[in-house]
A and B are shown apart, each in its own frame.
Chain A
Amino acid sequence: MTALRWTLGTAGAVLLGIGGWLLVTETREDTVPQVLLWLAGAVAVHDGLLVPLVLLAGLALRRPYHNAYGKGDAAGAGASSGYGVLRGGLIVGGCLTLIALPLLLRQGQGRNPTALPLDYATNWQLLLAVTFAVTLALLPVRRLWGLARRPRGTPRE
């Protein structure tokens, strides 16, 4: 384990060094500060905006959901109450939206007619509708199944 760790760590440091060297020597002279700024910006937007929003959404949904539909099982895992299905639907819809965002923002601005040729707004809405429908259809299935079959690892009363 120790030898493996040191090998991995050393290899990592070397590759990181190569990357840093490429960044400094193989780019235009003003690139390094610009890239540092964009790196920091990426983290700031992700950690300061995206994650707090997702955490807030979780806070806003989980408690009321459990109050309305029960926790499903004494273990309080939530999975068998159907909450997991709802969360899964939101993850899928959210990720599809994120992937669609650049296309939606650039629709009509393709550099030639073969770039961005599809109607992305319609396709995105269609995908959200499908996600919504699948989530709705799975919810009762999961709740009934959860009642019939206790999740693994929960003690029987």
Chain B
Amino acid sequence: MTVETVPTCAYPGCTNAPEPPAPGAQGPAPRYCRHPEHNALGAIRISRAKRQQRKPRFRGQLHDPRTATVIGRWLGAAVLVCFVTGVVSHVLQEPPGAVADRLPTRPVWGYRFSQGLHVASGIAAVPLLLAKLWAVYPRLFVFPPVQGVRHALERFSVAVLVSSVLLELFLGLLNIVQWYPWPFSFRQVHWALAWVMVGALLLHLAVKAPLIAAHWRHRSPGTRQLPAGDAPDRRSLLLGVGAAVGAVTVVTAGQAFTPLRPLNLLAPRQPDHGSQGLPINRTAAQARVSATAVRDWQLRVAGPRPYTLTLSELARLPQHTEELPIACVEGWSASAHWEGVRVRDLLDRAGAPHDARLRIVSLQRAGAYGVTEMGASYARDPLTLLALRVNGRVLSADHGYPARIIAPNRPGVLQTKWVSRIEVLT
């Protein structure tokens, strides 16, 4: 055990006493002596220089903190956008009880926008992540690999950050092509790792804060310490990475963003490719909706005054046409004209209370989401339809014939097809 006696300057190897606190100054006492280079940045620099001598040399340029900071900023922004839009999607799909009846139904394109952005920012993060990790790759070989408890923790948090971001992007990219080669549930793991990833990112920012601040600008003290000759090369690298971000975005974003549709070359969906001009996620055959079930179809509404309607009775009720997007969790989306009966009118006829939540039951026999719940804000919205037609034609089997739900600002998986029962929950 050692006993701390007189404090010394925190600069490695310096034994001077720290500067005395300025008279009347608040906050912690200064940790460094009066020497002009003995400060936090100087200390970082010298301990790195020492370590530098002991690790393999990377002769190439730009493996420096300025490059890591500039690419890091873009990557950080992309990752945070992914996280926030991911949370939005999760809440809309599985709302906690307290908000389930109050989810916003406007703007109608809200989910289309946020999920399109989620997938686009994830794709844009790919070049950024690779460039960032290329820039800091030499740091993998610091020697000795572990220099104390603090250093071990720091390296562990970096390992968590890198592995979780890499795996999140990989899972997402494969999910949008509907390829699931892993043994676990995509949704559960993607959701949990999102929190791990953002937590590790904030931790990373806290650890690197002095270094980030020292290289934040072109003229920041740390940036000026780097070889000036690297600056044009760095600019050119950043331009290259920026071009890659632009390229991967432009050739995929058209699956959600209509103006880019002509350039949609590498997206898993083309929004106007599909029966009746719309893509399909699950066909009637995949959902094992049997022909008999459809032939004998009746809509049952269970509530205070339950009733049953045949298709022709349903078609004689007041019909409304709305233009609403269908926006898939996989990021593609398309707008269509839907025609059908307002869910609200069906509920009034059943004597449902205004704040009632619904359970929607489909004829579907295979796959998830055969039974879904709909909160009161959607149920009462005049734009929420039990649709019988799309883009002027009767729904095809794959689009949910005889009747499907379409509601504003809602993930596609909850726009239940082949609806056979609506239950008022109280």
Contacts and interface: CB of A to CB of B under 8 A. Distances in A.
Given A11-B202, A91-B127, A114-B269, A5 B209 contact: yes
A35 B232 contact: no
A126 B265 contact: yes
Contact of B232 (A11, A17, A40, A75): A75
B166 A76 contact: no
Interface in B135-185: 137, 140, 157, 159-160, 162-164, 166-167, 170, 173-174, 177-179, 182-185
A54 B282 CA distance: 40
A140 interface: no
A54 B249 CA distance: 22
Nearest to B198: A15
Contact of B237 (A87, A89, A102, A105): A87
Interface stretch (B3-11, B223-231, B295-303, B407-415): B223-231
Contacts of B197: 19
Interface stretch (B47-55, B240-248, B344-352): B240-248
A43 interface: yes
A23 to B, nearest CB: 4
Contacts of B189: 23, 27, 31, 35
B213 to A, nearest CB: 7
A55 interface: yes
A16 B205 contact: no
B127 to A, nearest CB: 4
A11 B183 CA distance: 31
Interface string A91-103: 1101110111011
A133 to B, nearest CB: 13
Interface stretch (B273-281, B314-322, B375-383): B273-281
Contacts of A4: 209
Contacts of B398: 112
Looking at B134, B185, B196, the one whose CB has the most chain A CB atoms below 10 A away is B196
Contacts of A12: 198-206
A6 B205 CA distance: 10
Contacts of B204: 12
Contact of A95 (B133, B230, B244): B244
A50 B193 contact: no
B273 A114 contact: yes
A151 B232 contact: yes
A87 B192 contact: no
B249 to A, nearest CB: 10
Looking at B28, B178, B182, B286, the one whose CB has the most chain A CB atoms below 10 A away is B178
A41 B15 CA distance: 46
Contact of B137 (A51, A89, A124): A51
Looking at B137, B236, B274, the one whose CB has the most chain A CB atoms below 10 A away is B236
B273 A117 contact: yes
A82 B419 CA distance: 61
B236 A39 contact: no
A1 interface: yes
Contacts of A40: 163
15 contacts: A9-B206, A26-B191, A30-B184, A31-B189, A38-B167, A46-B162, A73-B232, A79-B233, A84-B237, A92-B244, A99-B252, A110-B178, A118-B273, A127-B247, A127-B266
Interface of A: 1-2, 4-6, 8-9, 11-20, 22-23, 26-28, 30-31, 34-35, 38-40, 42-43, 46-47, 50-51, 54-55, 58-59, 62, 73, 75-80, 84-85, 87-89, 91-92, 94-96, 98-100, 102-103, 105-106, 110-118, 120, 123-124, 126-127, 131, 151-154
Nearest 6 interchain pairs by C-beta: A16-B199, A84-B236, A88-B240, A12-B202, A19-B195, A15-B199
